[in-house]
């Protein structure tokens, strides 16, 4: 099969497009013919500095396609089924092997490319908002990096739960687009001081919850909290340092929780939650944003584009 591979960490230019051995189907796994790869933020971080589990290494968490092989111990899936899959590596390729537990069925007639973008962003957003963020109707939530995959998912889920949603983005143009997903108030962080604007929008109180997939914004996220406010910290998209004196949390009885979807993804709770989101996207109850698509052979260009922070939503690779 063809794949976008590398043998050392580095910038997008480390990618090579070449033949590698086809993956082997595990008795408890499946092999899919990849039709769409959703490039996740973690994919760019892994390429830049993550472990090379295989050599040459095929990076990538999330991809959708058609089942070509099924392990002898797998039940509930059939040859030809369309599924979206998540695994620590292996998405940037024509074929992919994953445990069957890491696959979610795509409803008949659904847009496979849209489904390819769902599990990690929507699963992560759901965990940040509800399981760990304890968001309730009537509360106010701040979504950092609102135009990211997690941000767009979190805006919709929070709004559907009855929250007031504030989101940040790097331009007024992006904020205008986010309004259609349920954002109530937008903050262009390049033009306005974030904490002051949050306080103004909330009558000086601050927000009940912050979803922060950036990391380097942690000081601002904590400063934007109301009394008993919570922060769900879920990523390092900003790649900067995350140094902050967390003792400031005590005075406001506030909390900071790190969230990692991968630690919970094999549970029935999270597996079923992600399937609900896949189904909701398929029937139009939730929406995804696909910014652009690149051929698999142009993985370097796609990663470079993502790192430019110009994208709105997800960037796909098509084998």
Distances (CA, A) of 219 to 16, 194, 215, 233, 246: 39, 11, 9, 11, 9
pLDDT at 248: 87
pTM, entire model: 0.95
Q: What is the pLDDT of residue 242?
A: 66
Q: Which fold has domain 121-262?
A: Quinone Oxidoreductase; Chain A, domain 1 (3.90.180)
- Provide the residue ranges of all domains of the chain, joining segments of one domain with +: 2-117+288-318, 121-262
Only one residue has tokens 């902050």, namely 244
The yes-or-no answer to whether 2-117+288-318 and 121-262 have a common fold is yes
The token pair that represents 28 in the structure block: 């408890």
Helix or strand holding residue 219 (H, E): helix 218-223
Written as one string, the DSSP assignment of 145-163 is: STTSHHHHHHHHHHHHTT-
The position carrying tokens 């109530």 is 184
Q: What is the pLDDT of residue 239?
A: 55
SS3 of residue 7 by DSSP: coil
Note the pLDDT of residue 237: 58
Domain 2-117+288-318 in this protein, CATH class: alpha beta
User: What confidence tens digit (pLDDT) does each residue in 84-132 have?
Assistant: 999 999 999 999 999 999 999 999 999 999 999 999 999 999 999 999 9
Whether 80 has a pLDDT exceeding 70, the answer reads yes
User: Residue 108: what pLDDT?
Assistant: 95
- Structure-derived torsion over alpha carbons of residues 120, 122, 124, 127, reported in degrees to the nearest 10: -140
Is residue 247 over pLDDT 90?
Answer: no
Q: Which residues contact 115 (CB under 8 A, 6 or more apart)?
A: 64, 82, 84, 106, 278, 281, 282
Mean pLDDT lowest for which of 108-117, 238-247, 248-257, 293-302?
A: 238-247
* Alpha carbons 117 and 62: distance in angstroms, whole number: 8
Q: Compute the mean pLDDT over every residue in the chain, rounded to the nearest whole number.
A: 96
């Amino acid at each position: 099969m063809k794949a976008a591979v590398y043998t050392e960490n580095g910038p997008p230019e480390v990618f090579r497009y070449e033949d590698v051995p086809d993956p082997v189907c595990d008795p408890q796994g499946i092999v899919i013919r990849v039709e769409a790869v959703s490039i996740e933020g973690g994919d760019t971080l892994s390429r830049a500095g993550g472990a090379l589990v295989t050599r040459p290494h095929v990076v990538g968490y999330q991809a959708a396609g058609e089942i070509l092989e099924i392990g002898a111990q797998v039940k509930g899936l059939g040859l030809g089924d369309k599924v979206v899959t998540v695994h620590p590596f292996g998405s940037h390729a024509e074929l992919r092997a994953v445990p069957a537990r890491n696959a979610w069925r795509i409803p008949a007639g659904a847009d496979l490319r849209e489904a390819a973008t769902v599990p990690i962003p929507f699963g992560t957003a759901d965990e940040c908002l509800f399981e760990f963020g304890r968001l309730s109707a009537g509360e106010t939530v701040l979504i950092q990096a609102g135009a990211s995959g997690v941000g767009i998912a979190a805006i919709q889920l929070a709004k559907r739960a009855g929250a007031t949603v504030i989101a940040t983005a790097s331009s007024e143009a992006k904020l205008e687009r986010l309004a259609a997903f349920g954002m109530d108030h937008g903050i262009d962080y390049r033009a306005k001081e974030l904490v002051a604007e949050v306080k103004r929008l909330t009558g000086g109180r601050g927000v009940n919850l912050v979803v922060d997939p950036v990391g380097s914004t942690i000081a601002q996220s904590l400063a934007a909290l109301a009394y008993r406010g919570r922060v769900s910290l879920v990523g390092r998209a900003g790649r900067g340092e995350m140094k902050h004196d967390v003792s400031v949390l005590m005075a406001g009885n506030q909390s900071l929780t790190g969230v990692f979807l991968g630690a919970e993804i094999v549970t029935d709770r999270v597996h079923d939650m992600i399937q609900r989101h896949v189904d909701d996207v398929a029937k139009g109850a939730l929406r995804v944003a696909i910014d652009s698509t690149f051929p698999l052979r142009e993985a370097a260009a796609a990663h470079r584009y993502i790192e430019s922070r110009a994208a709105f939503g997800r960037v796909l690779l098509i084998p």
